[in-house]
């Protein structure tokens, strides 16, 4: 194998990198003996009762003080964690007795009253009977002359004409109302 000028430079760089890597590996393995410099000193569990100390080092030695503290804990009878059990049911609260009220469907509002006044009728021989009806109040009052079957004010139909009253049907609300003869 022939080594040229370029290969020698690459070989030297590779040797330097291997030497640095070997030094790092040796330093890491030799640093495990002195663990007290890596971790801060921890207070003993006996100094602080009922608290646990978090340890970040991976010391494989057995800590007898922790084992002794765990042996002093007494087991209290209760749920067995090795058996499946249903959760205890809570005590029921006495239900409030409510009497149901029957549902009553809302009734539709009554149709509006027919706002027409009957003033009289005209009866000529050989002509059908005609009635005089007024809608509105005061200056806005409108007088209609209609015969049986006619529609007035675009919403009322004259159904029947009698001597003292007229039967009017509200076409929009399907409501019939008898309107008596009134004096003006």
Model pLDDT for residues 55-65, shown as the tens digit of each residue: 566 778 888 99
Q: What is the pTM of this model?
A: 0.42
Identify the DSSP state of 101: P
Q: Is 7 helix (H, G, I), strand (E, B) or coil?
A: helix
Mean pLDDT of the chain, nearest integer: 80
Model pLDDT for residues 78-121, shown as the tens digit of each residue: 767 777 777 777 888 888 888 888 889 999 888 888 889 888 88
Residue pair 118/133 in contact by the 8 Å Cβ criterion? yes
Q: How many CA atoms lie within 13 A of 39 on its CB side?
A: 14
Contacts of 158 (CB under 8 A, 6+ apart): 131, 133, 146, 147, 148, 149, 150, 151, 152, 166, 167, 168
**DSSP codes, 113-173:** PP-EEEEEEE--TTS--EEEEEESSGGG-EEEEEETT-EETTTEEEEEE-SSEEEEEETTT
């Amino acid at each position: 194998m022939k080594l040229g000028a370029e290969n020698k430079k690459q070989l030297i760089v590779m040797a330097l990198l291997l030497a640095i890597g070997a030094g790092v590996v040796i330093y890491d393995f030799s640093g495990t003996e002195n663990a007290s410099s890596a971790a801060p000193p921890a207070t003993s569990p006996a100094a602080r009762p009922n608290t646990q100390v978090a340890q970040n080092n991976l010391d494989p030695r057995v800590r007898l003080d922790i084992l002794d503290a765990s042996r002093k804990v007494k087991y209290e009878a209760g749920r067995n964690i090795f058996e499946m059990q249903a959760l205890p049911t809570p005590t029921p609260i006495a239900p409030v007795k409510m009497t149901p009220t029957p549902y009553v469907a809302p009734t539709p509002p009554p149709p509006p009253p027919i706002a027409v006044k009957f003033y009289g009728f005209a009866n000529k021989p050989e002509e059908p009977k005609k009635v005089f009806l007024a809608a509105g109040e005061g200056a806005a009052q409108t007088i209609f002359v209609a015969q049986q079957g006619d529609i007035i004010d675009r919403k009322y139909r004259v159904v029947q004409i009698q001597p003292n009253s007229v039967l009017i049907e509200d076409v929009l609300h399907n409501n019939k109302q008898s309107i008596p003869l009134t004096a003006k």
